[in-house]
Each structure stands twice: as structure tokens, then as C-alpha cells.
Amino acid sequence: MTISGVIEGFYGPPWTHDDRLAWIDRLCTWGMTHYVWAAKQEPRHRDDWAAPFTDDELVGFGELARRRPEVTLAVGLSPGVDASVDAVETKLRPAVDAGAGVVVVSADDLPALDAATTHRTLANELLARLQVPVWIVPTHYCGAEPSPYLDALCRDLDPSVHVMWTGDRVVNDAIGAAAAARRAAVTGRPPLLWDNTPVNDAVMRDALHLGPLGGRDPALRDVCAGVLWNPMEFARASIATLTSAAGWWRGEDPDDVWTAEVRRRGWWHLAVATSFVGDPHWPGAMADDPTWWHEMLAGLPGEASEVGLDPAVQPWIDAAREGATIGRDAAVLTGASASPVRVLGLAARWRSWRRRDVLTFGAGPRIRPDATQDGHGRFVVGPGAIVEAESLVDRAVRRVLPS
């Protein structure tokens, strides 16, 4: 692996310029190599791709590129299938002149499985004209199956052009070196891994991902050209998982690195409260322990600003505090002779908590893009796309109710 860093490639409000500068500082400290500007809701990245970058955007690119020379700025563009090479070159040349050291053709999530030849020509021509490295996010970007699209794309594609890959699925609990090797055989080059973690966009917007990186085969470092992690729209909250990813990158234990970081920042209890069944720190046996609920409530912050989290994380803090209060009260009542009024009052609070728009304590249903692409490049949804689960709060309350 020669490439490592962050690809701001999520759906949702893009990071601020100050957030990007801070992340480039952080990547430099970690020894990582690239920051990729490719947020889907940047208007001149995708929806209005043909419009010239604004003066402010070009000034911003220059500041990002100069911030830390060790961290290369890459600028992504998602052109339409009818885009000409001249139009894309005209659009991207000012970004290169401003300091972008890589350009990325972002053909992901487009109805373009018949545009492989166009994408190949575009990548090859940009490489020749702009004289900077070119990467491509192909329309067939996950799974290890060959397809007519990938065959046409990679036939005569310059060998220096990196082809990105998200793993066997769009979002993966685990990514193995064997799958990466199969993808390399299909594309004729080591994959550049676009790792969709800790991203929580689209159907995952009710989840907050603060857990450690897990399930990444250390041997990926010998098979892939590099790895770029796709964060959440919450720039500060993304530090939790990506600190763990940086530890994995360095060959350290990602869980140990993560534990030290979230405890130092005061995020441990919120990370546990927003974990899911199967996560490494899922506290599945704690629903009937009043002491655990007391400790959880005492450890949760009251305000995001108290612990340096993004203000937009506040709904999860509020939901976790309310859920912990209900869980504590239910655990105290369990086994006691509680009046019907107290039991029904607890049940009413529980119902209100379950109607929140964010998920805490393992509440469900959890929806994720558990999908791969088949031998035609078409998406196939897997059984893990919808996971129904009983939350810890559910368990605590139901123990109070008569059987």
C-alpha cells in the first residue's frame, strides 16, 4: 500500500473548510498520504458538475493543497455519461493549477453500466492532458465478479490508473485479502480500497458510528494499492473510528488504539450506547443491572460541546440519556412490587423513546446497504440489509411487564 487517507465521499452536508484543514493536519500526524474532495452534495462535484469551480472553491483547494505538503489533495468529479474529455479537462484543470495532485473520475452510483469505454477514454486522456495521477471509481465498484463493464473499462486502461473498490459489498463487516486478490485479477491491478466506514449516510442516517475498525485483514496491506476511509458527515465524531483505522494502518491493534482514544476524549459511554448487537463492545447482558445503567448515565455527556463532538451529534446524546434513564428505572423495578401506575408510566416513556429518529442501545430495525454487484454490475441486496433487534432498553422494560 502506498496510498492512505480519507475520501469525503458521503451523501449529506459536506465538511466545512476548517474541518478539512484540521483533517489534513490529522492525516499528516498519522503519516497518511491523501485527502479526497468528493462529497456527493458538493454541487459542483456531481449535480452541477459542468459548472466551473467558484473562485472560493479554487482558493480553498489551494489552501488544502498547501496545508501539509505530505498530504496530497485529490479532487473528484462525477461527470455525466455524455461528458466530453474537453469539458472535463476544462473543469478540472483549474483545480490542478490550484494544487490538486490527483484527479478522481467518480462514476459510482450512476446509471452508467454501458459507459465503460467512455470512462476508460476519459481516464486515459485526463492522465495525458493534466499530467497528474488519475483514479477512477467505476460504476461497478463492489464485489469480486467480472462484468462486461469492468472488462471494457480495464481493457487498455493505463496501468497507472487506480480503480477503486469498496470490498465484497457496499458496506462490509469484514474485508479479506482473498477477495481483494480476486478483484485484482478482474481489473488487472491491485484495488484501491474505498472503505465505507464509519460513514452513516443514506439509509444509515439514524445510526451513529463511533466504534473501532474491525474485520479488516492485515494482509490487505500486501494486496491493495491503498485504502481510503469514507467518514461520516460529522467530522469530529469520525475521529473515533479513523483513529482506530490509523492504528490498523500502522500494524497496531485497532481496538486498543480506539479504546485509548475514546476514553481520553470522554466518548466511551456514547460509543457503547450507540453500538449494535455484534459490535465488539455491545453490552448485551447489562439490561437488568441497575449499577451499569447508573454508570452509563453518569458517563454520558450532556452536550456535544462538552466533549468536542459535532453539534449535530446531540440527538444521539439526548436519546442515549433518555434511554439510560428508562433502563435504570426499569432495572430498579424488576423484581420489585411496583404499582401499576409506575409500570404504565415507565411503558409510556419507553414508547416515546422508541419513536425517536435516532438509534441507541441497539434499537432497530437497523438498515444498511448490504449489497453487492453481480456479473452484470447490477446491485443485489443481501440478507443483512435489515436487522431487527431488541434494544437493551426494550429488554429492561419488558422484564418489568407481566409475562
pLDDT digits (tens, 9 = 90+) for 155-168: 999 999 999 999 99
Q: Answer left, alpha or beta for residue 206, where phi above 0 means left and psi between -120 and 50 means alpha.
A: alpha
- Rounded to whole angstroms, what are the CA distances from 18 to 13, 14, 82, 117, 358? 14, 11, 35, 38, 27
Predicted confidence (pLDDT) at residue 296 exceeds the cutoff of 80: yes
Region 78-84: mean pLDDT is 92
Dihedral sign for Cα atoms in the order 27, 31, 37, 41: negative
Region 82-110: mean pLDDT is 97
Report the C-alpha gap between 21 and 37 in whole angstroms. 12
Quick one: cell of 272?
457503547
With vertex at residue 41, the alpha carbon angle to CA 39 and CA 46, rounded to the nearest 5 degrees, is: 85
pLDDT digits (tens, 9 = 90+) for 230-263: 999 999 999 999 999 999 999 999 999 999 999 9
Q: Answer left, alpha or beta for residue 401, where phi above 0 means left and psi between -120 and 50 means alpha.
A: beta
List, in order, residues 6 or more apart from 313 with CB less than 8 Å away: 208, 234, 237, 304
Q: Mean pLDDT score of the chain, rounded to an integer?
A: 96
Helix and strand totals (H; E) in the chain: 14, 12
Predicted confidence at residue 403, as pLDDT, reads: 67
Quick one: cell of 316?
444521539
pLDDT digits (tens, 9 = 90+) for 185-220: 999 999 999 999 999 999 999 999 999 999 999 999
Quick one: cell of 390?
431488541
Report the C-alpha gap between 92 and 105 in whole angstroms. 10
Report the C-alpha gap between 264 and 65 in whole angstroms. 30
Predicted confidence (pLDDT) at residue 402 exceeds the cutoff of 90: no
Region 173-187: mean pLDDT is 98
Predicted confidence at residue 334, as pLDDT, reads: 73
Q: What is the pTM of this model?
A: 0.96
Predicted confidence at residue 110, as pLDDT, reads: 92
Domains of the chain by start residue, with CATH: 3-265 (3.20.20.80), 270-364+392-398 (no CATH)
Predicted confidence at residue 336, as pLDDT, reads: 64
Predicted confidence (pLDDT) at residue 357 exceeds the cutoff of 70: yes
For the chain, the C-alpha Rg in angstroms (whole number) is: 23
Sort strands 3-8 and 34-37 into parallel, antiparallel or unpaired: parallel
